[in-house]
A and B are shown apart, each in its own frame.
Chain A
Amino acid sequence: MPYIPNTDADRAAMLAAIGVERIEDLFHDVPEEVRFPELSLPEPLSELEIQQELLWLSEANADLNHMACFLGAGAYRHFIPSVVDQLISRGEFYTAYTPYQPEISQGTLQAIFEYQSMICGLTGMEVANASHYDGATAVAEAVIMALNVGRRRRKKVILSPTLHPQYRDVARTYTQGMGLTLVGDDDLGNGPEALAALCDGDTACIIVQNPDFLGQLYSPAELQALADAAHGYGALLVVVVDPISLGLFASPGDYGADVVVGEGQPLGNPISFGGPYLGFFATRKKYVRSMAGRIVGETVDTQGRRGFVLALSTREQHIRREKATSNICSNEALCALAAAVYLAAMGPRGLRQVAELCYHKAHYAASEIARLPGYELVGARPFFKEFVVRCPRPVDETLRYLLEEWAILGGYALGQDYPELEDCLLVCVTEMNSREEIQELVEALAELGQ
């Protein structure tokens, strides 16, 4: 049997040592009427067979290596240097668990400490945790943290309408038993000023995304004004960011954010059909005891040598149980390790280069599309790597045409989340898209538009 080393002789010796005759005797506590059911599962396969079957199943998909991809909307194709997968594939990293025993887990602990440091550097925050499940759940945990900071007395949460629709969904799912009102995202016209106007003494936090779901950037000045408005009522400003954009643009710490979260997948993690990803989570030091998740801190051992341990665990479920800041236990440590290796491989110049390539290529694509008759860019704000195009033909038809005739994943149909953008397409361009691909997209759209 694969992965079970016991031989028949081993089993016989072990049963004798235990003092029972058969393995079945170990299960006498299981009610007899339900014991040993027949499981109807496919016949077992050898490694050779499963390898072939999975190759076949994987090839039944059209993957991004065989299509030009202009689809983003929360999951992004970015370049991943080879060192990332090579290093996270070391068994010493990926077959360990949460570093509860620091003397034999310094590798994981120091790697998390460095990850926290890099996330703080990127976001302009003072503390970061070891990760959440993804960007959406990090947003939900930010809401809960804001409630805790507000001593559970504040019952209102303001969401930007251009916060990722799925993040808003997850925030609502998580908080459905908490008696909150989540407002602000019912009108696409609610920009920072309108959101500020909704803020009051009952508000726990305001959550905005920058660049937002439509790719638009908000200036540090207008977000600082929003932060000031929130702080005026004792509420927190939570900013959701694309970490790649922070290679180029001001960190939320520079414009008054209290919590910075986001989807960390673009940092060295494959797009992998939606997971595993990681949510990064950073905040001000004064809120660290309200933050969820694992945190690694620096300390010394008995001989005074520097080492790292899990810190502030009295916030966590295994100590505080029902009074914990969150129920989170396993997070996305290996994805966070990938993010850390990625950030270190890129360095400040590399990350800026990636962000600039995204920016320039997206703007090139946007300007070329805007010149096509019938197509129009929506929105006057600066944008990063995604932008909205109003199309002359129905969006579904446009996307189908691009895929079937040109093998292009054309983007995201915005009508599914915003009825007023029924005829609009969200186009994403990253450093992975060549000029030729962009020209093909433009050519295809031109042909369809005629």
Chain B
Amino acid sequence: MTEPLLYEISKAGRCSCRLPEPDVPPAELPADYLREDLPLPEVSELDLVRHYVRLSQLNHAVDTGFYPLGSCTMKYNPKINEAVCRLSGFAQLHPLQPVETVQGAMQLMYELQEFLAEISGLPAISLQPAAGAHGELTGVLIMRKALYDRGEMQRDVILVPDSAHGTNPASTSMSGLKVVEIPSDERGNVDLDALRANLSERVVGLMLTNPNTLGLFDEHVLEVTRRVHEAGGLVYGDGANLNALLGICKPADLGFDVLHFNLHKTFSTPHGGGGPGAGPVGVTAELAPYLPGPIVVLENEDERPFYTWRMPAKSIGRVKSFYGNFGVLVRAYTYIRMLGAEGLRRVAENAVLNANYLLSRIRDVYPLPYDRTCMHEFVVEGRIEGAPDVRALDISKRLMDYGFHPPTNYFPLIVHEALMIEPTETESKETLDAFAEALLKIAEEAREDPELLHNAPHTTPLGRLDEVRASHPKTMRLRYAPGC
């Protein structure tokens, strides 16, 4: 079942969109500047609609089925969010309009800053970063600049646990700093001895995901952050897993100085097939002057409230044009307003409950490398007793035949054949049971008929794809080219 490319259904002379005739006299075009041809497809509106509708039907999505992709928090995306961000009073605002004409939008942004500050315990927020990794870069640049402003120019190292997302070391490198990896201990925590050994006057700070990518809350987190602070460093919190902590604890109380939020994970804004997200950054009062901006500030709080833009005094600079992914911010604001404090705590509680329940259903069959109460997600090994040739990848592909999106595979790197499973709070017990049954059935299949797994998936639009071919210089095709 394959869908032709738009270029393959293109026919010269077809057109979907008609524009009005010019209502002004034409001006002369500068002949030397013009292009000769423009290789875009020509399709009718109906062909266009059918093409994209058929393409959409080839996707698995939260709206079509369970999507327990660990670390990505694929929760339900409420439809009200999609309606309100399209209101013309939000979607039809120019970012450079005078502030007097956009007070409603600025009030929404200001209040969202306040909500995120309350949830995290970090008093100052910039909504500008567009994604989690963008927030990381922002946060590391803030830490670097703050320490350099103290005159501590020798600090050039960021400590990153070996369980961290790949974005952490990559963001560190982009900031011009060096990465030193800290191993995990046998319970999945940051190894305190290794931490101690690597703390020095060269350390800018530690990037810590808590709960970490094993889905485990670090049992020594207060000691970890205290030690980093004692060494003169700062602690960065990767908020990818914040869904587990809403109303459970404030990251600032754990000793985090900087934190990014993934609004597209924790606060229900859609993942969009790979964005747009939003990665606001929160910091302590001490680091507030370094935030990127402009950010929204409230003047005249008591009399006539007025919102305006302000660039923080020692800002690292802009990280994006304008102010952030506003359409995403509207969705997150809506979500927080609908849940309130109690609702957010229920989100975290049920996310953690669902994960632990699902774990309890499969733990006798799938090896659990760190046997602890998990938070919102957990990692098991994708290997099955009595089926030595079956790998995590096979299990993942077979899950597709049961109508499920597979868990995250082969991450975190410290677990052999990792399957990282995050059910989220928006899934029902029935769905979790069905998924657990599928995993248990697959374990039986693995022993009885391993080829069934090796050749999976069987029911999807396409079978396994040749990824080597797509990246090999001789066979690589990264765009449509006629005649190929």
Contact = CB atoms under 8 A, between A and B. Distances in A.
Contacts of A250: 33-35
Interface in B14-53: 14-20, 22-27, 29-30, 32-35, 37-43, 45, 48-49, 51-53
A181 interface: no
Interface residues of A, number: 210
Contacts of A127: 478-479
Given A110-B5, A118-B40, A359-B29, A276 B327 contact: yes
A65 B88 CA distance: 7
B235 to A, nearest CB: 14
B115 A41 contact: yes
B171 A327 contact: yes
Contacts of A278: 276
A378 B411 CA distance: 57
Contacts of A58: 84, 87-90, 104-105
Interface stretch (B194-202, B312-320, B382-390): B312-320
Interface in A1-53: 1-6, 10-11, 13-15, 17-20, 23, 26-31, 34-47, 50-51, 53
A45 B318 CA distance: 34
B469 A79 contact: no
A94 B272 contact: yes
B59 A92 contact: yes
A111 B337 CA distance: 34
Contacts of B38: 121-122, 246-247, 348, 351-352
B470 A299 contact: yes
A51 B83 contact: yes
Contact of B357 (A18, A247, A322): A18
Contacts, number: 687
A5 B276 CA distance: 27
B353 A299 contact: no
Interface in B408-423: 408-409, 411
A242 interface: no
Interface of B is mostly: loop
Interface in B340-355: 340-347, 349-350, 352-354
Contacts of B330: 54
B67 interface: yes
Given A92-B59, A273-B323, A337 B43 contact: no
B61 A91 contact: yes
Contact of A317 (B87, B92, B170, B475): B170
B337 A44 contact: yes
Contacts of A317: 133, 165-167, 169-170
A274 interface: yes
Interface centre among B84, B167, B272, B357 (most CB of A within 10 A): B272
Interface centre among A3, A85, A130, A438 (most CB of B within 10 A): A3
A173 B317 contact: yes
Interface string A350-378: 11111011011101100100000000000
A318 B426 CA distance: 27
Interface in A167-199: 167, 169-170, 172-174, 176-179
Contacts of B131: 133, 328-331
A108 interface: yes
B462 A164 contact: no
Interface string B117-154: 01101000000001111101100010011000000000
25 contacts: A1-B346, A3-B76, A3-B347, A6-B353, A28-B373, A30-B249, A39-B341, A60-B89, A64-B94, A65-B92, A92-B57, A98-B274, A103-B462, A170-B318, A248-B34, A270-B92, A273-B95, A288-B478, A305-B462, A327-B136, A327-B170, A330-B131, A337-B272, A341-B48, A345-B48
